[in-house]
Structure 1
Amino acid sequence: MKQTEQNTQNAQSLQDRVLILTQLTKDLQQQLQQQVAQLQAYERAVQQQQASQGQPSASDATSGQQFTSAFENAAIGMAVLGTDSRRLRVNRAFCAMFGYSLPELMATGAPEVTHPDDRAEDNLQRSRALAGEIETYQREKRYLHKSGSVVWAALTCSLVRDAQGQPLHFISQLQDITERKLAEQLSHANEERFRALVQLSTDWFWEQDENFRFVQISGELVDMGPLTSDSSIGKLRRELPYVNMDESVWAAHEAQLARREPFRDFEVTRLDSQGQVRHLSISGVPIFDASGRFTGYRGMGRDTTAMRNSNDRVRASELQLREITDAVPALIAYVDADQRCRFHNRAYQEAFGLRSEDILGKSMLELMEPAFYEALRPKVEEVLAGYPVMYERKQRSVNGDVRNYVVNYFPRYGEDADEGKVIGFYSLATDITELKRIDRLKSEFVSTVSHELRTPLTSIRGSLGLISGGIAGQLPDAAMKLIGIAKNNCERLIRLINDILDIEKIESGQMRLDLQPMALIPLLTQAIAANEGYGLANQVSLILQCDEPELQVQVNVEADRLTQVVTNLLSNALKFSPTGSTVEVRVTRAGLGVRVAVRDHGPGIPEEFRTRIFQKFSQADSSDTRLKGGTGLGLSISRALVESMGGSISFSSRLGEGTTFFFELPLWHGTSEAAPLAPRSRILVCETDVDVARLIAIMLDKAGFDSDLAHSAEQATALLAARSYAAMTLDLRLPGQTGGAFLNRLRQNDATRALPVIVISTLASDGQLQLDHKPSAVSDWLTKPIDEAQLESAMQRAMAALHGRKPRILHVEDDVDIQHIVAAIAADFATFEFANNLTEARQRLRDKPFDLVLLDLGLGSESGWDLVELIDSLQPRPALVVFSASEVLPDAGTRPDAMLVKASTSNADLLQTIQRVLKMPATPPAADT
């Protein structure tokens, strides 16, 4: 609206200027006409006298001199033209008007100054004068300046006759009106522009006279019922059919008009043709003529009903959002990039014991105690750097009691000019004080009950064993059967209690493993032997297979816990295998580690259950509990145990064909096999506690490493800048900065981006949650108190991964046999993971980074192309090799690194293609098929 009003004012100013110039031109033309008439009369008188006396007198000479002086000194351009239109005489003003000198204009072949398009009209008018039709004519015409520019002039041309009435010559006088013409052209252009704006605008424009009565209304008054231009002309504004207008409003408005003041957004209401209330906003400015006399008002109006309704909806939505956030039992706030609070809910206000006006616009430092803010500052800096943050904190309430909160910070990114820039963050703090109390009570209850049950169960199991062994003499077969049932269920109950206790230890961080180098094959053999009885009961056999007949590998594990993992996997496989089938336990090398896979030929795992299979108490169907038994804790415990031993666990499954669970563990080479590592590699130990730092240094020294100590992020940064390190240990609790924030800084620095970092902290589990979105940031996690063997093993794994990590390949393929073949082909140089469908593939790609995706396009009813968008969005993007049954052209915009057809690709071709795409040196392929 402001721009439209400005355009209106500019147009009016220009129009006034044009009117002034036009009037001045008319006045000057009248004066010129009078002067020319006098000159003509004088010239005729001279001619008559000459004709009667024969010779000019002295007075005639004086009069001629006066004529010449008047001609030459005229302020306007003057010219005498012959009846043939030749120039006979021009004055100085004429020459100056067109930029020529007098000789140039009077010479033979002098330039024609009349614009070519205006010459015909000049010739016509002179012909009429010579024919006696007219004596003089006037017109506005164009001339050409010597520079080529156009000069506009008001021309008055008169024919002079002699005493006998014969034509002598023409006298022309020219007034330069170029400025006026340019102003008129500009005014016309502005008028056209203004008219176009009026036609396009939904606003309307109005004008009132000095009595405040409407004299003009333009534009559309859409759906305004009886309010039209015609019905409004001649009326005052208060005489129009407005409704719901208070008299005081009119009085204030009219007082403003009386003071000749501009007004803006004067709100009025009226009914439309449907009887609905419409809201109108009117603005205007006073008009004054050139002399400063008030001539009325001019302005515009617009229908603001839709905008008001929209604003009402926004306010209602904001109120609803406010009510919702106020009802949420959590502290919600939005903080901008300057760390000032811009929004909060009632719970946030109550937690700090402040009024809303004491919170909004205040900085976090102003709202919090300095020490409290300093503890939070590293986390605030981390979220403003673009990283989500989650942590627990304690805060004293206004009542004096201490509350526990889980706090989440989520970065907010700007739009348009601020796109990609963090402009603030959302804070969500959930009070978990009661949850912690309940969880503590639950843990105490579970622990107490479980331990209390163990004692009598031990007696019961022992007694049943003695009875079944014959200590009480020979029992009848029916009694022995009952004893067997009781004994089996007693064992089942003991396993359940042990599982519950294990889960409790895992969740509380109290699970401690005694890791020792162990030969893997004997452990597996013992576990299989221990489960053969269960297999016989289900009429399912067990078989151990090794890809290398003499495979002798050691792993750093706790024997009992690894046996527990294998037993859980075997138990599930035997439980769900059909009668007469075989459960296969296969051992293969996998990168720098070893893989143990347990494969059954059961019904497979339903698609909808696969994403939660490792969760506690998860079972594919509640009927499984009744038909197969079990609690759904085994896989959850197995995953926790495998990860605690430095490995990983996963599965693949096909409905109707079976399931393969597999876990991978790093190989144990012992200190004597540490030759590939650089002798006495130097490790940077970043640890707050001086004594703990020295202890870590002693452990590293025994393992063959030198070390430097840093007790803060600043010291560590200085040491990293001064020298190179093979790896680093990091305590998450650092003075002045969180370990997570410091780790982010390391990963943003080219010099330390690839540095292996092993976290050693009492907050390791919290740190894993904080860095869940950056899974590759940490090489390993160790929890205090530190186990020397775990530290040495973790350091060897981290450095081996740095210097010799095998590429990780995700094979998206629904044919298990092809999965095995491809893995066998490339097993010597790559680590494979498998996905049978797009859902599994997407989950694995989001969970961890891969160097290459080997993609089958035909996945049942799914197309492998649908995975490409996710692959392209990953940072870093894995290479993509399409390995499909048929040759299919890629979709538009899809660019695989290579495309292979299964039937026409040999093992060597596949191996070489993968190595080429990964830019690896070629290795001899396995035997081709």
Structure 2
Amino acid sequence: MVDKEKTIRNRESEFRSLFDDIPLGYQSLGADGRLLEVNKTWLKILGYRKEEVIGRWFGDFLPESERKRFQDRFPLFHVIGDIKNERFEMLRRDGSRLYATFDGCIGRDEKGRFLQTHCIMYDTTEQRRSEEQLRESEERFRTAFEYAAIGMALVGVEGRFLQVNLSLCRMLGYSMQELLETDFQSISHPDDLQLSEECMRQMLEGEVYSVQFEKRYIHKSGHLVWVQLAASLLADSQGKPLYFITQVEDITQRKEAEQKLALLAAALEQTVESIAIIQTNGKIEYVNPAFERINGYKREEVLGKDFRDLKSAHQDDFSYERVWKLLARSEVWTGRTMQRHKNGTLSEVETTISPIRNEMNVVTHYVAIERDVTHERQMERQLRQAQKMEAIGTLAGGIAHDFNNILGAIIGYTEMALLKTPSENNVMRNLEQVLKAGDRAKELVKQILTFSRQKDEGFKPLQVSLIVKEVLKLMRASLPTTIEICQDIPNTSSLIWADPTQIHQVLMNLCTNAAHAMREKRGVLHVSLRDVELDSEAVIRYAGMNPGSYVRLTVQDTGHGMSPAILARAFDPFFTTKCLGEGTGMGLAVVHGIVQSHRGSIHVDSEEGRGTTFHVFLPKFKNKVSNEMGPGFNVLPRGNERILLVDDEAALADTVRQMLEHLGYNVLASTSSQKALEIFRANPDSFDLLITDHTMSRLTGIELAKEVVRIRPGFPIILCSGLGEAIFSENIVKSGIREFLTKPMFMGDLATAVRRALQSGKSPTGDLS
């Protein structure tokens, strides 16, 4: 018995020795969480003596922040049965901290009731610190990655984005999620895919460790983004490729700058102006091909030579010295000189020599630009002629406006007098003649307005060949048999946007002038019509024309022709070579105005004794033709509505008022647009229609309409003017004005327009702003 007890004690001693000396801490907790047992390693780790810890609550050895977590988790151990990888931060006796990890099991009695925990404690402080350092390192990397100023991405070996930063997202216009759901191939320019995939292959096969190249990405909005891409391959410890880490720098601006420089270089080489870059010492550093063409010297003949050695080709000694003094003061010289080509021929050139400064504002070079203006000098005469015609046209338009007001009163009062004159009275015939004369005067004003390009009525898609054939039939009946008519007119021709009456007038005038030039002897009148395409080179010989598609009408005669002096004044108003009573001199002037109003151009070639040729170019009409027809009235419409009439010409206001009252309307007339506005503002519902002149002092018709519609939206308005409708068309559309009347107006036109405007009262009114 004694030996057995001794054996047990020996084993207990051995177990205790093993228990205390193992390098792992041990602890046992009772049901209340108090320490029942610890070994020496546990005490050594925490720096306590055994009597200081047995019976104490385990939470006493934890920081305040950990106690609550232990308190919450310890009851769970009663149920779980196993303790796995439980981590707590603990306090040593000296107050320092350590990290401990616990693994263990639950001890129970024979009935399965909880007795105590048995746990092995590992000091994982160093491991925990290593993990924290790793996390900190990863966090620093992640922060540097995510907030880097350039784009960064981790790309899988198959090309999918694994991780991207904000800069790359902003650069390409995608969100992070959108990029992570795609691969680089789908957003790369197709022409750059082969280069990208070849670089990937080289890294995957170990040929290179990293690559750097330029490529294009497609921004989410569709435009291209040029980037400088640097990529490296990351592999694991066994050398297995993991992913590529790429740095992406946006170089779009740099590439655009390079392209602009390349474009500039190409422009210098291809421009028609001669360009020479000269050093401050006078040595020629660069010349473009145009320099060779204008001066006749090859590039290799002048490079490195002194620019002043060419002075005889530019200007005389005095002028050259003056230019060089200006350049020495860093000033710009511009002038025209006669240029002698290497082969001896002369041409007029416009030269500009300017200093070139560096970023320090120091002159380092001069640039000399020469442009051959020989042809331009020839065109200036034509331009002066066009400007003269424009000035005369403006004057004619002003005269026509005032004359229209006078005619309006004459026609209006005459119509009213006719209404009150018995038909058997001789005065009736005289008044009718006055009215006919007024109508002829109205047509004359139309011609003046046509010449001044202020008239644009009756325009529609027109097939010119029909008009030409009609005119030639009329001319054949009126021309003497000594004049032969030859025509080259296709059965069909392209459409133009034109007024048929005005085109008819153009051809009649040109044919009549041609016939007059051949009246003293036999001759041939040749008229042709062709569709032509004029490119930028073809329009050089026609001033004021743009490249495009045209219909060309040619009228050619074999008459006496014109001298240069007469040719220069051919389109001047009231200029004529005809005898008194044979012509007014307005024919060709009106033709010029009509062609200009149709956005076309007319040109004449003539030589004394060899005839004259007129070329009329009219732009083709390419839009679809509408077949809609406007409504008309077979009888003079009447009404009884109340109308506000405004015209600052007292005579016109009075005659229009009488016309309207004769038609049954109640009319309030005013010669002041401001007073009329005050009347309307005071009682806007008492009127059904506003008729206003456009050109009035202080408040124009458009401005009055604007205020009236603001007060009463949808109110019908008729605008009257003697300058034609075209210049007001845009404002009419915007303001919602229902009708436009050209002065002078006849009672029938006025009655129709008033009725139409009143019946359109439900139409929406546009914005006048």
TM-score, length of structure 1 as denominator length: 0.29
TM-score by length of 2: 0.34
